[in-house]
Structure 1
């Protein structure tokens, strides 16, 4: 068995559905936390909405995984260009895309 096969064998897939919001993160954390003993691939393709609590959950999961010597990778999630940088999120956590029409910044007219 190769190192790649070993890594894949110890990877858990976490695939939440619905929202990652202040109202749901506690339940999602309860499902995700035990998985962080292994490398985790988070498939967010079925997530319909994420608020700041959801972003915090993803960052906390990455921190816990790193402290355990594990990896936490998010797939099928997007943030508008610039949002990831403002939140301190790198592309190994969330796929960053550039919006075709960026939203105006605070104090700017649209």
Structure 2
């Protein structure tokens, strides 16, 4: 927990340094109110603090996606809890659960 707080402090310092280097004035790009992705499907992933965070989109060129699915890392991480705790005690299960750092909002499906 203490390490995470320090990581956040360092991240804040990096953001402040980056903001100091930005020019003032209006934004250089206007984003349209509605984005219409071309027909087809796409999967994009990024590395988040808890693991891979994936986005799956299917478009039929309509005003909203035909399908949009988010694959959170906590859901995948929780799936290994059984293998981590077989043959262990309740105390081991608590430590194992804490080590994979589950976000309950991500696993509520």
Normalised-by-shorter TM-score class: under 0.3
Q: Calculate the TM-score normalised by the size of structure 2.
A: 0.25
Q: Calculate the TM-score normalised by the size of structure 1.
A: 0.25
